[in-house]
Amino acid sequence: MSDGGEDQTKKPDNPTGAVGDPVTTEGNGKPQGDPVLMMENVDTYYGVIQALRGVSVEIFPGEVVCLLGSNAAGKTTTLKTILGMTPPREGKVYLHGERIDGKKTTDIVSRGITMVPEARRLFARMTVKENLEVGAQLRNDKEGIARDQARVLEIFPRLQERMSQKAGTLSGGEQQMLAMGRALMANPKVLLMDEPSMGLAPILVEQVFNTIKEINERGVTVFLVEQNAHMALEIADRAYVLQTGSVVLADSAKRLLNDPKMQEAYLGEVT
């Protein structure tokens, strides 16, 4: 949201990371350059209930960053706040150095960010092809759309075999492929993912995380909300941990994998 007459496009003079110690990546310190996505001291409410409290997050180009926490910690709200679905009451959100808090969701998506929602939320009565086309609805570059559809089908060859099939008749794993493919049809620079492994068999969970790595290697920055903390940290560069709407840990994924507090609280290991 706008703070009165403040310039909406001005970057902060001193961008900050999460609350607490500076965020670092293993061995090299903090990523160089400017963050592609940043939340700065964000408070988000549902009516009178405060869901996020002073949340600050930085995501740099080319990273996989995961957001961890228990149920109702504020993870999905964080993604919705970024996309303008639940605008922050206080604080700022930047994409490519430009403030996006207070803008409409369609405007934010058109600037290069999109989300794979929790539980996939496909159009069950539409075909695979039609669902993919929905992902590109804000675009008008036919050649680019065709190129990106070919790229999606290269990543998810199973979808090529199902193009005329109704989305609602796909298996859970195929539906997750379609949800990810639909998001990629927007040609995002930043991909938000909300619990992509939810409800999937273990072998499919591994496939999903391998696909996230492949998408990232193709140049897409990923901000990942995930209950499977161990798998998420295995593929991530850095991570933030939320508790009751506040960031309580922020570090490289490798260090968090070996953090006793993380092992006890989120990785199912008691030290």
Given a cut of 90, whether residue 10 has pLDDT beyond it is: no
Work out the number of other CB atoms within 10 angstroms of the CB of residue 245: 23
pTM, 2 dp:
0.82
Q: What is the pLDDT of residue 261?
A: 76
Q: Which residues pair with 247 in a beta bridge?
A: 242
| pLDDT greater at residue 25 or residue 80 | 80
- Asked if 54 and 42 count as a contact pair (C-beta separation under 8 A), the reply is yes
Q: Which CATH class is domain 15-112+188-264?
A: alpha beta
User: What's the pLDDT tens digit per position in 140-153?
Assistant: 888 889 999 999 99
Q: Any idea which residue has 């994924």 for tokens?
A: 253
- Asked if 30 and 121 count as a contact pair (C-beta separation under 8 A), the reply is no
How many Å apart are CA 178 and CA 162, to the nearest integer?
10
What value does the mean pLDDT take over residues 189-207? 87
How many Å apart are CA 44 and CA 53, to the nearest integer?
7
Q: What is the pLDDT of residue 202?
A: 84
Q: What is the pLDDT of residue 68?
A: 93
**In the chain, what percentage of residues exceed pLDDT 70?**
86
Domain spans, the chain: 15-112+188-264, 123-187
What value does the mean pLDDT take over residues 131-140? 87
**In terms of Cα–Cα distance, which of 54, 16, 75 is closest to 227?**
75
- Asked if 176 and 196 count as a contact pair (C-beta separation under 8 A), the reply is yes
∠ CA 225-43-227, rounded to 5°: 15
Q: What is the pLDDT of residue 17?
A: 34
In a 13 Å sphere around the CA of 133, the CA atoms on its Cβ side amount to 9
Q: What is the pLDDT of residue 30?
A: 56
**In terms of Cα–Cα distance, which of 74, 58, 18 is closest to 243?**
74
Q: What 3-state DSSP class applies to 108?
A: helix
pLDDT band for 268, please (50, 70, 90 cuts). Answer: low
What value does the mean pLDDT take over residues 56-73? 94
**In terms of Cα–Cα distance, which of 112, 95, 7 is closest to 58?**
95
How many Å apart are CA 21 and CA 64, to the nearest integer?
20
**At 254, which amino acid appears?**
K
How many Å apart are CA 85 and CA 65, to the nearest integer?
21
What value does the mean pLDDT take over residues 92-97? 96
- Asked if 159 and 126 count as a contact pair (C-beta separation under 8 A), the reply is no
Average pLDDT, the chain: 85
Given a cut of 90, whether residue 14 has pLDDT beyond it is: no
pLDDT band for 26, please (50, 70, 90 cuts). Answer: very low
| pLDDT greater at residue 117 or residue 97 | 97
**In terms of Cα–Cα distance, which of 68, 21, 19 is closest to 39?**
19
Q: What is the pLDDT of residue 57?
A: 97
User: What's the pLDDT tens digit per position in 220-250?
Assistant: 999 999 988 999 999 999 999 999 999 998 9
What value does the mean pLDDT take over residues 160-176? 90
Q: What is the pLDDT of residue 24?
A: 42
Q: What is the pLDDT of residue 201?
A: 82
How many Å apart are CA 237 and CA 171, to the nearest integer?
31
pLDDT band for 118, please (50, 70, 90 cuts). Answer: confident
| pLDDT greater at residue 199 or residue 144 | 144
